[in-house]
Amino acid sequence: MRPTDPRFTGIGLGLRAPLAEAIVHRAPPSLRWLEVSPENHVNRGGSFVRMLHEARAKFPLVTHGLTMCPGSTDPLDRAYLTDLAAFVRAVEAPWHSDHLCFGHRDGVFLHDLLPIPFTRDAAAHTAARVREAMAALPVPFALENLSWYAHPGEAELDEAAFIRAVLDASGAWLMLDVNNVYVNARNHGFDAREFIDALPLDRVVQMHVAGHLVAEHGFRIDTHGEPVCDDVYDLLHYALRRTGPVPVLLERDHNPPPWEALVDELDRLDAIWRDATGVTP
Amino acid sequence: MKLDAAQSTLARLCLDRTPRDEDLTALGGDPLRWLLYRHLVRGRFVDTFSDALPVATRALGREALGTMVERWLAERPPTTRYVRELSLQFADFALDHALPEGAPPWTADALRWDAAVMRCHIADDAERVPVGPFAMDRPVVLTPARALLRLRWSVHRDEVPTEGEHALLVFRAEDSLRVEALTLDAFSFALVTAMGAPHTSLTGAVYDVLARHGEHANADVAAVLASLLGDLLERGIVRGSAPDGA
Ligand SMILES: [Fe+2]
């Protein structure tokens, strides 16, 4: 059974310092919960502690990591997992998620979400690491599909089959990033709806939407710094029709717009969520 | 391509000063896409540092900052998963190496200042050491959100810094959580430095500093000490004393 939590329904927003004041004091009714990245908060004092405390007083929090890098060939960092588990427990997150990628190599952190080859070996390696991480975490764990711009070497599987292989072998849930699906579909020339249909949708615990940058020749770069585009709203509606009422998060990490513009995006997402699921959050 | 080779190749492509053709060939497909990864990774570090090291960035200019970042990535790339610590690692590297020709003479001080501000801003001050009531015969417990800094240039104060002696106690204010700096005289600077030693009582620290300055306890010293301690206690920089048996 897919993990659910009645606190997490409808639309959420990523807690980011430039947005924190507005989130706490001027949130619209369409905003029901927040997502936080443990890496921004663990073992840190000062303004981020206050921000988290104020946010927690108003909203339930779910956690979304940036640096587990389950696809990495470096050994898993036990101290990180211990801190992460304590943080997840402290904020009472219903589940934790991170990306299906690598981002560090030989102890060097590249601070990006880098692609791993869609091969059976890579799926097995990643699933084993995910199982190890899951054993250290107090809540269910979900993997997020990546936006990727190039594939290293020859693929043995298509992306959907690769994701399925990792989830099947690890028992992890899926964090479906709809914008990432869209960006990949446009950049690599496949059909976004067919891709979504090929995923194990019964494993989706949460979704992401975000804006992306349209660069030269229409190439799409996943920036989380632009408004969500119409096609991604449509794709979200399509995905929600298939998954049912899973919570949806708006990611806005850079280039923060006036708060009113974000409220409009949250309201539009809320309307789509209600229409697609037939549920009132 | 094997997972291991894919990762070592892509990591090298992002870190090397100049991308290698053989790496682009090994990764396959359109080389421009791989160079986009390189561009995004490197640009993100420069953006992070221009935010986190504002005074140093103003001194260096973005282009020279970018050149230093290139060198850092090639020679001592980041080993932290925490974005907030990246600027500290980079500043350490930059201070260990010759700064770019043409950089103003206050660039090193600017790096020290920005790093001290960042350290105070992020310092984890959750109570991990026991704190008892303030007592002269016990070691002082200081906030972890503090840094002592000697600067030759007034980078902490002036858009165009001037040369001089600046002994600063940088700290995070308890209410606003903003980072501020107190200018200290030489005696007070030495005293706060001595207070940071974990096993020395406050009285011991005072006598150490007096001995090193060739002075004796007298009414003037007592007045300076009382005023400094009052200030440090009020600002939460001194949190109390280590309790007996701690
Ligand atoms: Fe995402």
* Band of pLDDT at residue B8, cut at 50, 70 and 90: very high
With H, G, I as helix, E, B as strand and everything else as coil, classify residue B152.
Answer: strand
> Is the Cβ–Cβ distance between A81 and A126 less than 8 Å?
no
Residues B137 and B61 placed together within one structural domain of the fold: no
Same domain assignment for residues B118 and B1: yes
Q: Are residues B13 and B83 in the same domain?
A: yes
pLDDT at residue B245 in the model: 66
Q: In 10 A of CB B132, how many CB atoms?
A: 15
Q: Which of B122, B143, B172 is the last residue of a domain?
A: B122
Among A43, A41, A51, A106, smallest CA distance to A73 is for A106
Residues B136, B241 within the same domain: yes
Average pLDDT, chain A: 97
- B70 close to B90: Cβ distance less than 8 angstroms: no
- Could you tell me the CA-to-CA distances from B86 to A110, B143, B169 in Å, in that order? 11, 23, 23
Q: What SS3 state is found at A131?
A: helix
Nearest to A112 among B1, B41, B145 (CB): B41
| Tokens representing residue A241 in the block | 């029709």
This model of the complex carries an ipTM of 0.95
Q: What is the mean pLDDT of residues A46-55?
A: 97
Instruction: State the Cα angle at B212 between B206 and B218, rounded to 5°.
Output: 50
For residues A65-70, give the mean pLDDT.
97
Burial code (b: 16+ CB inside 10 Å, e: under 16) for B116-127 equals: bbbbbbbbebee
The answer to whether residue A150 neighbours chain B at the CB level (below 8 Å) is yes
CA distance A241 to B83: 37
pLDDT given for residue B198 in this prediction: 81
Average pLDDT over residues A44-68: 97
Q: Do A104 and B2 touch (CB under 8 A)?
A: no
Q: In this structure, are B183 and B97 located in the same domain?
A: no
Pick the CATH number of A11-277 from 3.40.120.10, 2.40.50.90, 3.40.50.2300, 3.20.20.150: 3.20.20.150
CB atoms within 10 A of CB A156: 15
Q: In this model, does residue B41 exceed pLDDT 80?
A: yes
Q: Do B62 and B140 share a domain, yes or no?
A: no
CB contact under 8 A, B7 and A102: yes
Give the mean pLDDT of A33-42: 98
Separation between Cα atoms, residue A51 and residue A37, nearest integer Å: 13
A contacts of B9 (beta carbons < 8 Å):
152
Query: Quick one: B115 and B42 in the same domain?
Result: yes
Measured between CA atoms, how close is B16 to chain A, in angstroms?
12
| One domain, residues B183 and B153 | yes
Q: What does the domain layout of chain A look like in residue ranges?
A: 11-277
Locate A214 and state its tokens.
Answer: 């349209």
Q: Show the domain range for B187.
A: 126-246
pLDDT at B246 over 60: no
Residue B215 confidence (pLDDT) above 90: no
Decide which of B72, B106, B122 is a domain's last residue: B122
Question: Residue A127 in contact with residue A162, Cβ under 8 Å?
Answer: no
Residue ending a domain, among B122, B143, B166, is: B122
- With a cut of 70, say whether residue A52 has pLDDT above it: yes
Residues B107 and B166 both lie in one domain: no
C-alpha–C-alpha distance, residues A235 and A178, integer Å: 7
Chain segment A169-227, per-residue pLDDT in tens = 999 999 999 999 999 999 999 999 999 999 999 999 999 999 999 998 899 999 999 99
Chain A residues close to B14, C-beta within 8 Å = 110, 112
Kindly report the backbone phi and psi dihedral angles of residue B13, in degrees, each rounded to the nearest multiple of 5, phi listed first: -60, -35
DSSP A140-204: -EEEEPPP-S--SS--SS-HHHHHHHHHHHH--EEEEEHHHHHHHHHHHT--HHHHHHHS-GGGE
Q: How confident is the model at residue A4, as a pLDDT?
A: 95
Which residues does residue B10 pair with via DSSP β-bridges, in sequence order?
none
Q: How many CA atoms lie within 13 A of A72 on its CB side?
A: 26
pLDDT, tens only, B145-183: 999 999 999 999 988 999 999 999 999 999 999 999 999
Chain B partners of A111 at a C-beta cutoff of 8 Å?
A: 41, 44-45, 48, 78, 83, 86
Residues of A within 8 A of B82 (CB-CB) are 39, 43-44
Q: Do B122 and A221 touch (CB under 8 A)?
A: no
Mean pLDDT of A56-64: 98
- Per-residue pLDDT, averaged over A271-279, amounts to 98
Q: Is there a single domain that holds both residue B111 and residue B199?
A: no
Q: How many structural domains is chain B composed of?
A: 2
What 3-state DSSP class applies to A64?
Answer: strand
CATH number (domain holding residue B134): 3.90.930.50
B21 lies in the same domain as B59: yes
